[in-house]
Amino acid sequence: MEAYLDNAATTCCYEEVKDLMVRTMMVDYGNPSAMHMKGVEAERYCKEATQTLAKLMKVQESEIYFTSGGTESNNWALLGTALANRRQGNHIITTAIEHSAVSAPLAFLEEQGCKVTKLGVDGEGRISMEELEKAITDDTILVSVMYVNNEIGSVQDIAAIGELIKRKNRNTSFHVDATQAFGKYRILPRKMGIDLMSASAHKFHGPKGAGFLYIGEKTKVHPMIMGGGQQRGMRSGTDNVPGVAGLSKAAEITYRNLEQNQAHLFDLKQHLTEELRKLPDVVIHGMPVEEGAPHIVNASFLGVRSEVLLHTLEERQIYVSAGSACSSHRRAGSATLTAIGCNQAERESALRFSFSERTTLDEVNYTLEVLKEVLPALRRYTRH
Amino acid sequence: MFKAFLIKYAEIGIKGKNRYLFEEALVNQIRYSLEKVEGTFRVIREQGRIYVFTEGYFDYEETVQALKCVFGISGICPVVVVEDKGFEDLADQVVAYVKHMYPEFNKTFKVHARRAKKTYPMNSMELNCELGGRILDECPGMKVDVHQPEIHLTVEVRQKIYIYSETIPGPGGMPVGTNGSAMLLLSGGIDSPVAGYMIAKRGVKLEAVYFHAPPYTSERAKQKVVDLARLVARYSGPVRLHVVNFTDIQLYIYEKCPHDELTIIMRRYMMKIAEQFAGEDGASALITGESIGQVASQTMQSLACTNEVCKMPVFRPLIGFDKQEIVDIALKINTYETSILPYEDCCTIFVAKHPVTKPNLNIIKRSEQNLQEKIDEMIQTAIDTAETIEIVY
């Protein structure tokens, strides 16, 4: 039996997505910028994709920009906002548990003279609204908060944060990294006070190398990739027709069964956490099951190093992710686990299990069986 | 501009009756190394010299790079080849060569003509004088110095005429395969590939063995060792790599022996297994990247303990090197970047907090008594189930 429990890293493509993408590469392969029929045909895919996404999120078509994925969307949102608002202020607020696609560009902006405030989180990975309120000043141009944390699945109250920001400073933009959330929740950016939102296709059964950034019409962002003026001059480069078409098809299918899938994921999560709690020396991180994201479980198996357990499971065709790739030479523990107050023993033994709609209860049970079998043996051999 | 290379070799030149064997090996290695370079090459041995002739287009930089990886070459002279159209034309060509190579005209030089084609109307001395004169006339600022010239301009008259003056240093050493073969214990660290390189440089063909410990070491750690073997193979020629699954032996030692002796005992069994493979492959020595005192298992006493299990000689070319000196070579031979990828290797999994640094052989042997029951069988299994990978650059 194979159990792929690393869906937060990437997911398998939908069959329909693959078929559509093949068609855009083999039949309707024109350049959307071309004037002839071949170009018009190709352009139709992008138009339809924009319409699809706009409907799903209840936003305007002109507010959607396609990118190469989550990393580019995040970089563009942060750097582009900083560039466009240099005169308004230079203060940006973020959290201590962001993905590096947010924290790295912010570190760069800090080098360039921006002030960055990192909000801490509590033991479950939640930011404090009081702290956020205190942090927002007249100088604050942007608040960037991830919707679902990729490591422990903690969820922020995005609507409340959006409302708070607008109440405190109407000119502050709100960026949400929704890479792990899009397709898991029905997100309505306008209703939630979101000005910028990043997403990535391969997290919801679309292709790798495709994503989008929602930019609210009143939000000032400078383009980062300049050239031929595609996408209203905001993001140049020949339209990635296969990627864009694949992304929108994947979004459409994901949204079709969103509620059922969500319930299914919560069932799996509930079951796995319940069973893990019965095992000795297991610590489960993040929020209570129903408050956290439906598809992510993070647990430490004290006394067994993440990497060793990961490879042991891999030998039985079970694929999971280690809290962070760490080695005997470089103890670069996960920033998220540190932020929620994990000690070194917990950080070194953390594994992430993440599901998709395709994950079955049998796969989870098989994983639990194998865990029960291998943990005692692995714990016999630990470093001294 | 350059159409051929004269290959200089230092050490082979002083061999006696076996010299032709060394030269043949060198020619073969040069051919092996040039196989991957764009171009058509003829490698020719004549009158105690080796030439690489090119035909049509070839990539000059890549060719030089490839030749720099051939042990036994002490220098590479890029040669300009011109047709023999009489002396005037030759003089023009030589002057053009000087103008191109030394446009500053601020060097001392000496012309060294060699007449392999004895029917040429001028003898070597005349050629020296005439050509030197022409250069002095046409390149003001150049001076002749027959004792210690900065430029030694050689003009060889054969069917065609060869002009050369510069020597690119080669790696030195001896052609791989002229001094037997040895088994390298390759770990994935910085040291072992460098050790392999240095022994290969002395003309020794390499085999390698890697101890894999899944699930404690990952598939990527193994891939890293394969990549390192490939980088070394650029110099040493094809390497046969044995990947041994060492997990069971390691866990067994961990269960039965004192933990602070684990690394020493483990290394003793690694040497034993490596020696067996060496015997099977016809290798006559082992190579390790050990250097005195670098880590607990490489103190004088530890080395003595590890060495005791081997009947074959164990070559430790880095024994007197500082880490930085080893790193410098690793950077030069392009293995450093791969070596520092942060994957666990089997030596770091169960490292005791305070491993023994002055092991006593008798005590170690007494600890090994605890393994008697199963260890021989385990070693046999490890050898029988090893995966062998043929690696070429």
Residue in B215, B348, B351 nearest the CB of A315: B215
* Residues of chain A found within 8 Å of residue B219, distances taken between Cβ atoms: 311
Quick one: which of B130, B346, B141 has its CA closest to B253?
B346
Q: Over the stretch B37-52, which tens digit does the pLDDT of each residue have?
A: 988 999 998 777 899 9
Task: Tell me which chain A residues have a C-beta less than 8 angstroms from the C-beta of B259.
Answer: 384
% of residues, chain A, pLDDT over 70: 96
Mean pLDDT of the region B82-89: 90
Nearest to A384 among B214, B216, B353 (CB): B353
Residue B286 and residue B315 in contact, taking contact as beta carbons nearer than 8 Å: yes
Residue B64 burial by Cβ neighbours in a 10 Å radius (0-12, 13-18, 19+):
middle
Contact residues on chain B for A381, CB-CB shorter than 8 A: 251, 254, 350
Exactly one of A13, A46, A114, A326 is catalytic; name it. Answer: A326
pLDDT at A237 over 70: yes
Structure-token match 């030596």, residue found: B347
Q: Which residues of chain A does B352 touch, with a Cβ-Cβ cutoff of 8 Å?
A: 383-384
CA contacts within 13 A on the Cβ side of A235 = 23
pLDDT for the residue numbered B49: 81
Q: Measured between alpha carbons, how far is B92 from B103 in angstroms, rounded to an integer?
A: 15
Say how far apart CA B377 and CA B382 lie, in whole Å.
Answer: 9
Mean pLDDT, rounded, for B182-188: 95
Report the pLDDT value the prediction gives residue A329, as an integer from 0 to 100: 42
Chain A's closest residue to B349, CA to CA, is: A383
Q: Which amino acid is at B381?
A: T
Asked if B215's CB is within 8 angstroms of A311's CB, the reply is yes
B352 and A311: CB-CB below 8 Å? no
How confident is residue B93, by pLDDT bands cut at 50, 70 and 90?
very high
Going by C-alpha positions, the residue among A223, A219, A249 that lies closest to residue A236 is: A223
Contacts of A327 in chain B (CB under 8 A): 342-344
Chain B residues in contact with A325 by the CB 8 A cut-off are 342
Instruction: Kindly report the backbone phi and psi dihedral angles of residue A193, in degrees, each rounded to the nearest multiple of 5, phi listed first.
Output: 75, 20
In tens, the pLDDT along B214-223 reads 888 888 899 9
Interval A3-43: pLDDT, tens = 999 999 999 999 999 999 999 999 999 999 999 999 999 99
The rounded distance, in Å, linking the Cα atoms of A265 and A365 is 14
Chain A residues with a Cβ under 8 Å from any Cβ in chain B: 307-312, 314-315, 325, 327-330, 380-381, 383-384
Per-residue HEC secondary structure of chain A comes to CCEECECCCCCCCCHHHHHHHHHHHHCCCCCCCCCCHHHHHHHHHHHHHHHHHHHHHCCCHHHEEEECCHHHHHHHHHHHHHHHCCCCCCEEEEECCCCHHHHHHHHHHHHCCCEEEEECECCCCCECHHHHHHHCCCCEEEEEEECECCCCCCECCHHHHHHHHHHHCCCCEEEEECCCCECCECCCHHHHCCCEEEEEHHHHCCCCCCEEEEECCCCCCCCCCCCCCCHHHCCCCCCCHHHHHHHHHHHHHHHHCHHHHHHHHHHHHHHHHHHHHHCCCEEEECCCCCCCCCCEEEEEECCCCHHHHHHHHHHCCEECEECCCCCCCCCCCCHHHHHCCCCHHHHHCEEEEECCCCCCHHHHHHHHHHHHHHHHHHHHCCCC
CA-nearest of A266, A124, A127 to A184 is: A266
Number of C-beta neighbours around residue B154 at 10 A: 17
Tracing tokens 């138009």 back to the chain, one arrives at A47
Q: What is the CA radius of gyration of chain B?
A: 27
Nearest 10 degrees: CA dihedral of A40, A42, A46, A47?
Answer: 30
Of B218, B342, B349, the CB nearest to A329: B342
- Mutation target among A301, A307, A324 for the B interface, most CBs of B within 10 A: A307
Q: Give the chain A residue whose CA is nearest to the CA of B219.
A: A311
Q: How far apart are the first and last CA of chain A?
A: 35
Contact predicate B379/B273, CB 8 Å: yes
B384 touches chain A (CB under 8 A): no
Among chain A residues, CA nearest to B189 = A329
Please give the pLDDT value at position A332.
Answer: 56
| Chain A residues with CB-CB distance to B255 below 8 A | 380
B345 pLDDT tier (thresholds 50, 70, 90)? low
Q: What is the pLDDT of residue B347?
A: 56
Mapping DSSP to helix (H, G, I), strand (E, B) and coil, where does residue B380 land?
helix
**A326 included as an active-site residue:** yes
SS3 content of chain B, % helix, strand, coil (to 5): 40, 20, 35
How many A-B residue pairs are in contact by the CB < 8 A criterion? 40
Task: Indicate yes or no: CB of B215 within 8 angstroms of CB of A308.
Answer: yes
> How far apart are the C-alpha atoms of A343 and A303, rounded to whole Å?
13
- C-alpha–C-alpha distance, residues B258 and B367, integer Å: 7
Average pLDDT, integer, range B145-166: 92
Q: Which two tokens stand for residue B96?
A: 């053009």
Q: Which of A311, A380, A381 sits opposite B218 (nearest CB)?
A: A311
- What number of CA atoms fall less than 13 Å from residue A272's CA on the CB side? 33
Residue B61, pLDDT > 50, answer: yes
In this complex, the residue of B251, B255, B348 whose CB is nearest that of residue A328 is B348
Identify whether the C-beta of residue A66 lies closer than 8 Å to the C-beta of residue A240.
Answer: yes
Residue B109 DSSP code:
E
Minimal C-alpha gap between B219 and chain A (Å)? 9
| B305–chain A nearest CA distance, Å | 23
pLDDT tens, residue by residue, A307-366: 899 999 999 999 999 965 444 444 556 889 999 999 999 999 999 999 999 999 999 999
Query: Out of B214, B348, B353, whose CB is closest to A311?
Result: B214
Q: Choosing among A328, A331, A375, which should be mutated to test the B contact, i.e. which has the most B CBs within 10 A?
A: A328
Whether residue A354 contacts residue A9, with contact meaning beta carbons closer than 8 Å, is answered with yes
Mutation for B interface: A311, A319, A326, most B CBs within 10 A? A311
pLDDT of residue A194 exceeding 60, the answer is yes
What's the mean pLDDT in A141-165? 97
* Residues on chain B touching A308 (C-beta within 8 angstroms): 215-216, 349
Whole-model pTM: value is: 0.83
Residues of B (172-231) whose Cβ lies below 8 Å from A: 214-219
Task: Please choose, from the candidates B247, B265, B260, the residue with its C-alpha nearest in 3D space to the C-alpha of residue B369.
Answer: B265
